[in-house]
Amino acid sequence: MEGPGQEDYEERMRRSLDPKVYEDPGINVSHLSLEDMNRAGAGTRSSLHVWRARAEELTPLRQYLPSRRGWYDLDRKRRAAGVPPGQASRRGGGQPPSETDVDLEAAGSRRPVSQRDTHEGYVELHELVMDTTKELCWMEAGHWLKLEEDFKEDGHWDQPHLSFLTYCSLLEIRRALAKGAVLLDVAATSLAAIAHILIDQMIYEGQIKPQDQEAILRALLLQHKHPSEAKSVRTLPMAQLQRLGTGQAETEQPLLQEQQHLEMHRVTGPRPSPSGSNRPQLPEKIPKDAEATLILVGCAAFLEQPTLAFVRLKAAVTLDAVLEVPLPVRFLFVVLGPDTPHISYHEIGRAIATMMSERVFCRDAYLAEGRQDLLQGVEEFLEASIVLPPTETLSEQLLHSLVPLQHELLRRRYQPRKKETGKDFLKDLGLEAPAPEDDDPLRRTKRPFGGLVQDIRRRYPKYLSDIKDALNPQCLAAVIFIYFAALTPAITFGGLLSEKTNGMMGVPELLLSTCMQCVVFSIFSAQPLLVVGFSGPLLVFEEAFYSFCNSYGMEYLVGRVWIGFWLILLVLVVVACEGSFLVRYLSRYTQEIFSFLISLIFIYETFSKLVTIFKENPLKRHYNLQSVVTPGVPEPNTALLSLILMAGTFFLAFFLRKFKNSAFLPGKVRRLIGDFGVPISILIMALADFAIQDTYTQKLKVPEGLDVTNSSARGWFINPMGEKSTFPIWMMFAAVVPALLVFILIFLETQITTLIVSKPERKLVKGSGFHLDLLLIVAMGGVVALFGMPWLTAATVRTITHVNALTIMSKASDPNEKSQILEVKEQRISGFLVAVLIGVSILLEPVLKHVPLAVLFGIFLYMGVTSLFGVQLFDRILLLLMPPKYHPKEPYVTRVKTWRMHLFTFTQIIILVLLWAVKSTKASLALPFILMLTVPLRRFLLPKIFRDIELKCLDADDVVVNFEEVEGRDVYDEVQMPS
């Protein structure tokens, strides 16, 4: 079945099938003018450096990558070209489309054929060889136009024949494509641009190393040649690509060190056949609307395993001096790998070329939306192929029995899948059930309060199950655990808040605020698993605002009331405009800067307080002891004991945190100890202080009952017009500025926490509500300000701990098998009970008054240090002090050049220094404003400095959700915001 006989055979097969099934006469294919394509190429001669300069002068390469891979709207393309939708452009002044372009609705197709333009395929296979001048080049090894044509050793082209493939090569393609780079609808217009994008993607996916980028780029831009009597792939030695700087440049297989001028002449028609080559006139056989596939195969000594890359261009592009015929290229395959006797890259290239010349697989390549579609196309190609066993064939007549089998396989391959007639009938009548609405909670409805309404509709119908699901022993255990996890930071922050505000707010106000707001939130929220509490960023703001009010002689609590009023107005405006979608623009770049800054403030404030204690109680030989502790009179050993309590609390809590994921004791015991590490460390160090009666240490100030921290300065209700004097009217309106700052802080931490909890890996099924939860938290903060109580936000660490405590995991039967999530008890009762218990804790005054402040300073230091562990910025700062050979195998290290990684780190350090400078001045209230400027900086300025592939690695949200007890990892590694 060679030559014309094969074409007759295919024509008979077409007539034997149902024409209505095989062809789709209602489809018109838009065709490209080959003359226009040829005009797009410029006849120039360029060196490798000019090629690279051309690519860099183009629109930034990141814009070549499609926003949605694997799909574009043909009607939109036609409208842009001035052609009505559904009506294809006519080439040649209205000539009908070529009948040779058979439009199959193939079994592997994922989209209707009317939604993507396809063309007849022409394929060229180029192999990496060494020219007679000892330079590397790409030499054409064969081409396919339905059938294969090879260049023979005697210097002429063979007759078209059916391709015979090795089964091993097809399996290698299947294996390589599953792990290789797949780029769909790339909008590049030159080979240099395609090469840059392809190499970036291969580095990003870990197929090649960054240090090999230059070598592979130079190889992809080598000159393309075509065979003649004197030179062909059968007469030239196969080349082996070497890594730059390996010292093998003078061997018989060198890497091109100085790229010669690439021939860039314009191809205007068929080239004259080499002397005696018996070259067929291909352009006469190729349909005018055909598009080409270019396949490049070769050996690369520095690669550890074969790599395959597939590129589909958004629009076919004429590549200068590449193909033998003037056709635009739509597909590009690159196959590189080490020289091994078990793999033939020539056979792999032939197999790919044969697949792309086959109608159905070519159609699958046009319609593929992703890697899985291509893999399914390969599977279906294999299903329709025949494998001959390695047995001797006594007579060629025995092979004729394969013809009926091939007929049957082709019939199955060309027939589309059976349609569901009932479903199509309902659809034709317009009675088909509507598609389920997008359940994305951040999707904008473009209606006032539309997102809030969607949150309520999504979550409230599950309210009854939120109560039933709480009837589980695991929920009771979670209540006890989360109570201590929430009580400890409430007491810690309450004590520190009292210090920062001179007793205007303290532990009672914070405990009562946490109780009230958590009760309301657990009843009405869309995501009741969020734990509402006080956090470090809010503490920093409270200190800054208190200093501001003192400087201008204004009442601090009255100012907070007006901030609360503005908070309610701001959140109503934001929720009405569905502003929660803005959280999508908060990249890891901004989150890490904010997290690092707050952690630094935590650490700095701890040692600042310790220094203050040493100044008030200095170490000296003689002390003027008094019968009672007198302010301003130094006490002996106070500073040393405070240092011991602070350091002891920190190291004990830190050790218990590490102990949780160690190998000591049974898993349940050590997890129990680790989870309660902070309360245990506070208890032990408080008992140690209590046992030392002769040394004074400052204790936590807690009033009895429901009294406020400083009853002489305030009550439970704050008069908005002023307590002791009239509040300035101008400040009532100016309070919108600090209100905006508080709103930014709450917005950042609440929405980011919700994003972390809503990750698909956690398998929550009842959904979240960004708009409703933000409205509740901010509005409640505005109301409690009237009673002189702190604002709260969604606490990240406590929330993740809560979700993990309610997660039920499967039991692994194999020690190497990871446990899987069975379900998460999504309910409202655990949060409600925790809130009630925290409220009851206000009556623990007899116990809390014995807790030393130095112990709380140790917890403060613990939160600052542990918050750094989940921040990639901190890891990259440490890498500045390490030799490259000790760098970890992380994507942002292995896929980005070291000096580029350090440059990215320096940009964040500069912003950190700026933020710290602002924080240290009277303009500290503007800190959130300065922080928000990092969003446009990341979106618009950094892409001009760093390539898209580098930003993907350095700024990707690649935090892994941890369910397993891995040594050295816990929920803090998942958190990018301190709390």
CA distance 248 to 253: 8
From residue 107, alpha-carbon distances to 113, 135, 496 in Å are 12, 45, 68
472: left (phi over 0), alpha (psi -120 to 50) or beta: beta
Judged on CB neighbours under 10 Å (0-12, 13-18, 19+), 347 is: middle
- pLDDT confidence band for 501 (50 / 70 / 90): confident
Q: Which two tokens stand for residue 161?
A: 């024949």
SS3 (DSSP) at 247: coil
Q: Which residue has the higher pLDDT, 422 or 135?
A: 135
Instruction: Give the pLDDT of residue 28.
Output: 35
From residue 670, alpha-carbon distances to 397, 556, 933 in Å are 75, 45, 44
Check if the beta carbon of residue 374 is closer than 8 Å to that of residue 310. Answer: yes
CA distance 30 to 90: 7
Instruction: Give the pLDDT of residue 903.
Output: 92
392: left (phi over 0), alpha (psi -120 to 50) or beta: beta
**Max mean pLDDT range (125-139, 225-239, 585-599, 707-721):** 125-139
- pLDDT confidence band for 812 (50 / 70 / 90): low
User: Taking residues 786-791, what's their average pLDDT?
Assistant: 90
Looking up tokens 């503490």, which residue turns up?
539
pLDDT at 72 over 80: no
Instruction: Give the pLDDT of residue 567.
Output: 92
What is the widest separation between alpha-carbon atoms in the chain? 118
Least confident interval from 168-182, 372-386, 794-808:
794-808
946: left (phi over 0), alpha (psi -120 to 50) or beta: beta
Instruction: Give the pLDDT of residue 790.
Output: 92
Q: Compute the residue count for the chain.
A: 979
Q: Which two tokens stand for residue 523?
A: 């009843």
Closest CA relative to residue 116, chosen from 88, 144, 145 = 88
Q: Crossing angle of helices 638-660/588-616, nearest 10°? A: 150
Check if the beta carbon of residue 248 is closer than 8 Å to that of residue 254. Answer: yes
From residue 328, alpha-carbon distances to 284, 290, 388, 764 in Å are 16, 8, 36, 48
Find how far residue 1's CA is from the centre of its chain: 51
Q: Which residues pair with 823 in a beta bridge?
A: 808
Check if the beta carbon of residue 511 is closer than 8 Å to that of residue 495. Answer: no
SS3 (DSSP) at 924: helix
Check if the beta carbon of residue 74 is closer than 8 Å to that of residue 68. Answer: no
CA distance 181 to 206: 9
SS3 (DSSP) at 126: strand
Closest CA relative to residue 869, chosen from 486, 592, 463, 631 = 592
Closest CA relative to residue 582, chosen from 747, 775, 438 = 747
Kindly report the average pLDDT of the chain as a whole number: 75
CA distance 642 to 852: 8
CA torsion 703→708→713→714, rounded to 10°?
A: -170
- % residues pLDDT > 90 (the chain): 8
Instruction: Give the pLDDT of residue 281.
Output: 54
Least confident interval from 236-250, 298-312, 570-584:
236-250
CA distance 405 to 403: 5
- pLDDT confidence band for 818 (50 / 70 / 90): low
The amino acid at 256: L
Looking up tokens 């090999």, which residue turns up?
212
List pLDDT tens digits, range 8-24: 544 554 444 433 333 33
User: Taking residues 308-312, what's their average pLDDT?
Assistant: 91
CA distance 375 to 307: 15
pLDDT at 73 over 60: no
Helix (H) or strand (E) holding 149, with range, is strand 147-150
User: Which residues lie below 8 Å from residue 314, measured CB to CB, with a gap of 6+?
Assistant: 66, 72, 185, 186, 187
Check if the beta carbon of residue 30 is closer than 8 Å to that of residue 75. Answer: no
**Max mean pLDDT range (82-96, 351-365, 396-410, 884-898):** 351-365
Find how far residue 774's CA is from the centre of its chain: 24
The amino acid at 869: F
Instruction: Give the pLDDT of residue 976.
Output: 52
pLDDT at 415 over 90: no
List pLDDT tens digits, range 648-688: 988 998 888 788 777 788 877 877 777 677 788 888 998 99
DSSP conformational letter for 128: E
Q: Which residue has the higher pLDDT, 623 or 147?
A: 147
Closest CA relative to residue 261, chosen from 99, 474, 432, 49 = 49
- pLDDT confidence band for 334 (50 / 70 / 90): very high
pLDDT at 875 over 60: yes
CA distance 441 to 455: 7
pLDDT at 4 over 60: no
Instruction: Give the pLDDT of residue 958.
Output: 53
The amino acid at 184: L
CA distance 827 to 469: 6
- pLDDT confidence band for 495 (50 / 70 / 90): confident
Residue 96 has φ and ψ, to the nearest 5°, of -70, 155
Helix (H) or strand (E) holding 373, with range, is helix 371-383
Instruction: Give the pLDDT of residue 120.
Output: 75
User: Taking residues 888-900, what's their average pLDDT?
Assistant: 84
Q: Which two tokens stand for residue 973?
A: 């590694």
Residue 863 has φ and ψ, to the nearest 5°, of -65, -40
Instruction: Give the pLDDT of residue 566.
Output: 92
Check if the beta carbon of residue 338 is closer than 8 Å to that of residue 349. Answer: no
SS3 (DSSP) at 110: coil
SS (H, E, C) 451-477: HHHHHHHHHHHHHHHHHHCCCCHHHHH
DSSP conformational letter for 720: T
Residue 164 has φ and ψ, to the nearest 5°, of -115, 120
Instruction: Give the pLDDT of residue 252.
Output: 39
Judged on CB neighbours under 10 Å (0-12, 13-18, 19+), 275 is: exposed
User: Which residues lie below 8 Å from residue 447, measured CB to CB, with a gap of 6+?
Assistant: 453
Instruction: Give the pLDDT of residue 870.
Output: 65
**Max mean pLDDT range (281-285, 350-354, 385-389, 708-712):** 350-354
pLDDT at 563 over 50: yes
Q: CA-based Rg of the chain, rounded to a whole angstrom?
A: 35
- pLDDT confidence band for 394 (50 / 70 / 90): low
CA distance 320 to 221: 11
Instruction: Give the pLDDT of residue 662.
Output: 77
Closest CA relative to residue 510, chosen from 334, 256, 708, 340 = 708
User: Which residues lie below 8 Å from residue 554, measured CB to CB, with a gap of 6+?
Assistant: 727, 728, 731
Q: pTM for this structure?
A: 0.57
pLDDT at 7 over 60: no
Check if the beta carbon of residue 196 is closer than 8 Å to that of residue 64. Answer: no
- According to DSSP, the β-strands at 147-150 and 136-145 are antiparallel
User: Taking residues 524-537, what's their average pLDDT?
Assistant: 86
Q: Which residue has the higher pLDDT, 962 or 481?
A: 481
From residue 350, alpha-carbon distances to 142, 144, 195, 356 in Å are 8, 9, 22, 10
From residue 638, alpha-carbon distances to 614, 633, 645 in Å are 8, 11, 10
* Apex 712 CA angle, 707 and 713, nearest 5: 100
CA distance 331 to 184: 9
CA distance 643 to 695: 13
Instruction: Give the pLDDT of residue 266.
Output: 33
Closest CA relative to residue 410, chosen from 22, 47, 95, 94 = 22
Burial 465-494, CB ≥16 within 10 A → b, else e: ebeebbebeebeebbebbbbbbbbbbbbbb
User: Taking residues 612-638, what's their average pLDDT?
Assistant: 79
* Apex 648 CA angle, 646 and 649, nearest 5: 65
SS3 (DSSP) at 809: strand
Q: Which two tokens stand for residue 897?
A: 């050049």
User: Taking residues 737-747, what's their average pLDDT?
Assistant: 88
Q: Which two tokens stand for residue 486?
A: 């929430």
